[in-house]
Amino acid sequence: MGSELYAYGLLAFPLLSATFIAFFFRRSGAVASGISVGAAALILATALHIIFRLENFEYNVSWIEIANFNVEFGFLINDLTKLMLFVVAFVGFLVHVFSLGYMKDDPNKARFFGGLSIFMFSMLGLVLASSLVTLFIFWELVGFSSYMLIGYYLDKPSAAAASKKAFIVNRVGDFGFLIGIVMVFSAFGTLNLSELSHSEAATTTLIGLLLFCGTVGKSGQLPLHVWLPDAMEGPTPVSALIHAATMVAAGVFLLCRTGFLMTADALNVILWVGVATALVAGFTAIAQRDIKKILAYSTVSQLGYMVAAFGLGSLVALGNGDSHGDAIVTGGVAAAMFHLTTHAFFKALLFLGSGSIIHACHHEQDIFRMGGLAKKMPITFWTFTAGLLALIGTPFITAGFHSKDAILALAYEQNTLAFYCLVLGAILTAFYMVRLWKIAFLGSPKSENAEHASENGLVMTVPLILLAVGSILGGFVWFYPEALRPIIALGEELNHGDSHTTVMIYSIVAWVVGLGAAWVFYGAGAADDKLESVAKPLHAVLAEKFYFDRIYDWYVAKVQQRVAVAIHFTEQIALSVLIIRGMAGFAGLIGIGLRSLHVGSIHSYVYWFIGGLALFWALAVGLF
């Protein structure tokens, strides 16, 4: 029995689940959720089987063939795939379980779980894809399922707008990605990833940057990050799964998969985009009030880290840990993937935790209206704190510390300026997270909803606990089973370079500064934002997210739509009115003119005859 059957199974379970739900159980949410969670469990099991029991392999079957354009549907399982597969399957399963509790009373539960299944299908396809085209197909599908789930609350106009925005912004990124694919095909003559990696043909900076466009869109890099915070309109488990742990990381995964297509110039651009994203998002997070928005900006910021890591690291080739040799795993890839993995744990945890809070607080999301939740929801509090500690990179004991250090170490070696920027990013992270933590959990409740909050049931807390474990221990190589270890180990290794100590000191200082500043600055369970009263202009800029959304809205409403209407109007006037009606009118005028020649008198008709004779004569002697 071929290994590919398991891969097929991996795709088949969620697809079947989605199909069954769509066709038979649209109205029975309980069954639907059961099917979906069952599918997630099967996925996890199958994924574990692939990871632990199966060797790396590649499987391809011809899908479409026109002339020399040949796409294969297939699976490319290597270490990178396995790591990503683990993250997706594991977090996916936990989120499914959590959703059972979170969505319990929702009348349209079936649609939610169907959507989750479709997402799992798409995401797994993306991870397994063996060619750029297949990857792109699932890439788009992932975007589509994200679109569906963001817009889950159908009657909320903001949800509709957010989902639309997410899709379109992603498409802008895909615009570059697709051109990149076209160029890759033109340059290499194939789109199969392993064939590409062995290809002799030279890559160009343009190709690299175009492929990176896809990442910019999907992973919320500057300037296309605007959709991600808005995507929080979706149910919170969706945010945890799609917009924190897996889908948004797909951009990073794409970079890692196609690292061999990059050039030094391209990497440089990628690095600075990542760094800028990390900083801008970090600053923005400081002034947000919505708990999910803060986490979303935090995600953007962390994704910036990963992208920056990739941009930094691929300059340093760190051996070849891949048995198939089809992807060159470099330091950057390792660091990025390491951080991706740990981030998946703690960010999923944080989102689920916030989901737990929101659920308990009856959909209250403003942190300034919470407060004092630590006592009401102890498990949530402690697990959330664990995630938070990991995110801010609490020294030594948390996963985030190790993975972030790997990135910083890389930066220290490669690019000093980037290094300092990233350290500043780390300070910001600690600052805004502690702000959130202190205001939401400590102090006393600020609203009715927070007052009546209480701990949620087991289905919601168990996933939190499991993720908390991952958040703490995920930074240690020994935590991972053998099969997942190669890349993590490579990433972790970065921390043991020559400048190990310096980097660690910077990192700890950043942690202390950020944490301390926030602790001092914000009161426990504050009712309003102190920053607003202290530095109003700064707060305004930050709260307005550096005006990105304003600019986009202005562009869409004032530029794009007006241009569209103007073009439409011009076209109507020019074609329909001037030319068409004009020609019709002209013909009509001729018609009226000719009509008026029929005056009805024999006499005038006789002149036609003499005129005709003259005309004939003229024609015959060639006067015309």
Partner 1 sequence: MTDIFFYIFSIAALAGAFGVVFSRNTVNGAMFLIGTFLSMASLFVLLEAYFLAVIQVLVYAGAVMVLFLFIIMLLDVKESAARKTSLYTWAASVIGFGILIVGVVAINSADSIREKAASLPEATGVSLKSFGYELFTTYLLPMQVTGFLLLIAMIGVIALSKKAKAD
Partner 2 sequence: MSPEFYQKIAETNQWGAIAPELALGILALSLLLLEIILPKVAHGAIPRIAILGQLAILVYAIANSCSGACVTGEAFGGMLFFDATGELFRVFFLGSSVFVSYLGMVSLEKKTLPQVEYYHILLVVTAALMLLAQANHFVMLFVALEAATVGFYILVSYFRHSVVSLEAGLKYLIMGALSSAILLFGIVLLYGAGSNPALEASSRDPLNFGNLEIFLAANSGDMLGLLGMLLVISGVAFKVGAFPFQIWIPDVYQGAPIPTTALLAIASKGAGFAMLLSLVQVFSPLSDWLVPLLSALAVLTILFGNFAALTQRNLKRVIGLSGVSHAGFLLIGVVAATKVEWATTAVMFYLFAYLLASIAVFAVFAHLEKEDDSEISLDDLGDLAKKNGFLGMALAIGIGSLAGIPPLAGFIGKMLIFVAALEAELYGLMAVAVVGAVVSIYYYFGILKSAFFEVWHFQDDDEDAPEEAEPGASLQFFGKVAILAAVAGTLILGFYQSPLSSWLSGG
Partner 3 sequence: MNDFASLVQYSIAAPLVIAFLTLFVRNWGRPAIQIVSVTGFALPLIFALFLWGLYDPSTPGGYAFVSKMDTGLSMIGVSLHLGLNGVSLPLFVMASVVGLAAGLYAAQSKAENVHRYLFCLLVMQSGLMGVFASIDIFFFYFFHELALIPTFVMVGVWGGRDRSYAAMKMTIYLTLGAMLSLVGLILIYVKSGAESFDLIELKAHLAAAPLADSIQNYAFGLLLFGFGILVSLWPLHTWAPLGYGAAPSSAAMLHAGVLKKFGLYGLIQVAIPLLPDGIGQWENWIVWLALGNVLVIGFVAMAQRDLKQMIGYSSVMHMGYAFLGIAAMSVLGVGGVVIMMVAHGLTVALLFLLSTMIHHRTQTFEMDEMGGLAKKAPVLSAFFVCAMMASIGLPGPGLANFWGELSIFLAVYDFRSGLIYAIVLGIVISAIYGLRAIAKVFFGEETDEFKESQKEVPVTDMTWAERVPALILIIALFFIGFFPKTVTNSLNDSLNSEPVYAQTEN
Q: Can you give the binding site for partner 2, defined by CB under 8 A?
A: 584, 587-588, 590-592, 594-595, 597-598, 600, 602, 605-606, 608-609, 611-613, 615-617, 619-620, 624
- In the list partner 3, partner 1, partner 2, none, the entry touching 624 (Cβ below 5 to 8 angstroms by class) is partner 2
Residue in the structure block whose two tokens are 């329909």: 576
Determine the Cα–Cα distance for residues 472 and 489; give it in Å rounded to an integer: 17
Half-sphere exposure of 410 (CA within 13 A, CB side): 36
Q: Are 130 and 197 in contact (CB under 8 A)?
A: no
Residue nearer to partner 1 on the CB measure, 69 or 608: 608
Minimum Å gap between C-beta 568 and partner 3 is: 4
Please say whether the dihedral angle defined by the alpha carbons of residues 291, 294, 300 and 302, taken in this order, is positive or negative: negative
CA 99 vs. chain centroid, Å, equals 20
Rounded to whole angstroms, what are the CA distances from 620 to 247, 607, 609, 610, 617?
Answer: 83, 20, 16, 15, 5
Residues 327-386 that bind partner 3 (CB under 8 A): none
Rounded to whole angstroms, what are the CA distances from 569 to 115, 401, 565, 566, 575?
Answer: 40, 58, 6, 5, 10
Contact between 585 and partner 3 per CB under 8 A? no
Residues 134-163 that bind partner 3 (CB under 8 A): 136-138, 140-141, 144, 147-148, 151, 154-157, 159-161, 163
Minimum Å gap between C-beta 611 and partner 1 is: 8
Residue nearer to partner 3 on the CB measure, 16 or 183: 183
According to DSSP, the residues that pair with 72 across neighbouring strands are 62
Contact between 112 and partner 3 per CB under 8 A? no
- In the list partner 1, partner 3, partner 2, none, the entry touching 64 (Cβ below 5 to 8 angstroms by class) is partner 3
Minimum Å gap between C-beta 603 and partner 2 is: 9
Determine the Cα–Cα distance for residues 613 and 611; give it in Å rounded to an integer: 5
Q: Are 470 and 371 in contact (CB under 8 A)?
A: no
Minimum Å gap between C-beta 590 and partner 2 is: 5
Residue nearer to partner 3 on the CB measure, 145 or 301: 145
Minimum Å gap between C-beta 573 and partner 1 is: 44
Contact between 175 and partner 3 per CB under 8 A? yes
Rounded to whole angstroms, what are the CA distances from 502 to 142, 151, 279, 495, 505?
Answer: 41, 46, 22, 11, 5
Minimum Å gap between C-beta 574 and partner 2 is: 21
H/E stretch holding 259 reads none
> Could you tell me the two tokens for 118?
């479709």
H/E stretch holding 290 reads none
Minimum Å gap between C-beta 591 and partner 3 is: 14
Amino acid at residue number 84: M
Residue in the structure block whose two tokens are 């159980």: 25
Contact between 63 and partner 3 per CB under 8 A? yes
Contact between 524 and partner 3 per CB under 8 A? no
Contact between 559 and partner 3 per CB under 8 A? no
CA 580 vs. chain centroid, Å, equals 47
Query: To the nearest 5 percent, what fractions of the chain are helix, strand and coil?
Result: 75, 5, 20
Q: Choose which of 12, 172, 465, 531 interacts with partner 3 (CB under 8 A).
A: 172
- In the list partner 3, partner 1, partner 2, none, the entry touching 6 (Cβ below 5 to 8 angstroms by class) is none
Site map 597..616 versus partner 3, x via CB under 8 A: --------------------
Report cis status (omega within 30 of 0) of the bond before 395. Answer: no
Minimum Å gap between C-beta 622 and partner 2 is: 8
Residues near partner 1 (CB under 8 A) are: 603, 607, 610, 613-614, 617
Contact between 557 and partner 3 per CB under 8 A? no
- In the list partner 2, partner 1, partner 3, none, the entry touching 588 (Cβ below 5 to 8 angstroms by class) is partner 2
**Number of other residues whose CB lies within 10 A of the CB of residue 284:** 27
Minimum Å gap between C-beta 592 and partner 1 is: 22
| Helix axes of 485-493 and 399-414: crossing angle, nearest 10 degrees | 60
Q: What is the DSSP letter of 59?
A: E
Determine the Cα–Cα distance for residues 441 and 439; give it in Å rounded to an integer: 6
Residue nearer to partner 3 on the CB measure, 186 or 499: 186
Contact between 26 and partner 3 per CB under 8 A? yes
- In the list partner 2, partner 1, partner 3, none, the entry touching 458 (Cβ below 5 to 8 angstroms by class) is none
Minimum Å gap between C-beta 309 and partner 3 is: 29
> Could you tell me the two tokens for 558?
């004032």
- In the list partner 3, partner 2, partner 1, none, the entry touching 580 (Cβ below 5 to 8 angstroms by class) is partner 3
Determine the Cα–Cα distance for residues 432 and 76; give it in Å rounded to an integer: 40
In the chain, count H helices and then E strands.
28, 2
According to DSSP, the residues that pair with 74 across neighbouring strands are 60
Minimum Å gap between C-beta 118 and partner 3 is: 9
Residue nearer to partner 3 on the CB measure, 572 or 604: 572
Determine the Cα–Cα distance for residues 396 and 102; give it in Å rounded to an integer: 33
Residue nearer to partner 1 on the CB measure, 66 or 623: 623
Q: Which residues bind partner 3 (CB under 8 A)?
A: 22, 26, 62-69, 111, 133, 136-138, 140-141, 144, 147-148, 151, 154-157, 159-161, 163-164, 167-168, 171-172, 174-175, 178-179, 181-183, 185-186, 560-561, 563-565, 567-569, 571, 574-576, 580
